[in-house]
Amino acid sequence: MKPGFTPSEQLCAILVLSCDAYADTWAGFFKLLERYWPDCPFNVYLGTDSLRPSIPGCRVLNTKQQGLPWTSCAAEYLKQIPNAFVLTLLDDFYFRSRIDTNKVRQLIQTAHEKAYQQLRMVAIPGPASTNVASPVGPLSGEYRVSTQCALWDRKHLISILQTPLSIWEFEKNASNSAAGNYVGVYRDVILYRGLLTHHVIEKGCWIPHEVLRLRWLEGIRVEKRRPLLPLKYYSFYMMATLTSRLLRRTSAGKQIKDRIKQLALRLMPLLMAKLGGPAGRK
């Protein structure tokens, strides 16, 4: 524990959830973490399979054995952290704007006082209610639990990670079955939301426009050993993304939106098979 921590800082640590296969994301991730959160007061941990990179200001956590599913790895990392709360981040969601440390401190204190088990720090998706008098509201729906950046009660998160699942299976399963006091912010506090995408890797490949953005705006060159997303898949992915954004802004009924989403989910694996489908995170 760092000396001089405030009560909220003693309560919380940051865990970057990753794996050895995504080691090429670390240089860019931690460079932007330092750039956009220079006064970050929390202990930072990187969870990965077996690699032991030297990253200033970061402690590396490994799993005891290789080849574990995503939930088992995440639970092992969490068990090695002493803090009551953990702010979870994914390695391919790169920061884009300056983080307000005071806002983060206030939300940690609120989560502690009100016994929230999850406080999502980005509104992706946000609370369903429209009462914004409070900075947070209850989460519901299919992404009531997601791996978007969130403040978690560490012991509670470990308890819902017991079933061996992939990262996507975990979101779906926990959203349907996990019982907890889950809330989210109405306005992003951790700032990685982009105009077109929020992450830099899709299906194990660099997203082309994110590679250009990182080089031109952030001065970061990505490692070339990871391929770019194939053009045909990239076109389909961007079309689906833009359609989803437009649907959120329309008055179309939920039933119509769900049908379009289900159609996209059916077409995705067919297209992936035809293209030879790049492999994503497991």
Query: Where exactly are the structural domains of the chain?
Result: 7-185, 202-275
How far apart (Å, rounded) are the C-alpha atoms in residues 225 and 39? 33
How far apart (Å, rounded) are the C-alpha atoms in residues 127 and 109? 20
13-30 pLDDT tens trace: 999 999 999 999 999 999
Question: How buried is residue 81: exposed, middle or buried, by Cβ count under 10 Å (0-12/13-18/19+)?
Answer: buried
153-203 pLDDT tens trace: 999 999 999 999 999 999 999 999 988 899 999 999 999 998 888 999 998
CA 262 to chain CA centroid, Å, is: 23
Is 37 within 8 Å of 102 (Cβ atoms)? no
Query: Residue 61 is encoded by which pair of tokens?
Result: 């956590």
206-243 pLDDT tens trace: 999 999 999 999 999 999 899 999 988 888 888 877 77
pTM over 0.85: yes
Q: Mean pLDDT across the stretch 91-101?
A: 97
Question: How buried is residue 138: exposed, middle or buried, by Cβ count under 10 Å (0-12/13-18/19+)?
Answer: middle
| Confidence band of 250 (pLDDT split at 50, 70, 90) | low
- 7-185 is classed in which CATH architecture? Alpha-Beta Complex (3.90)
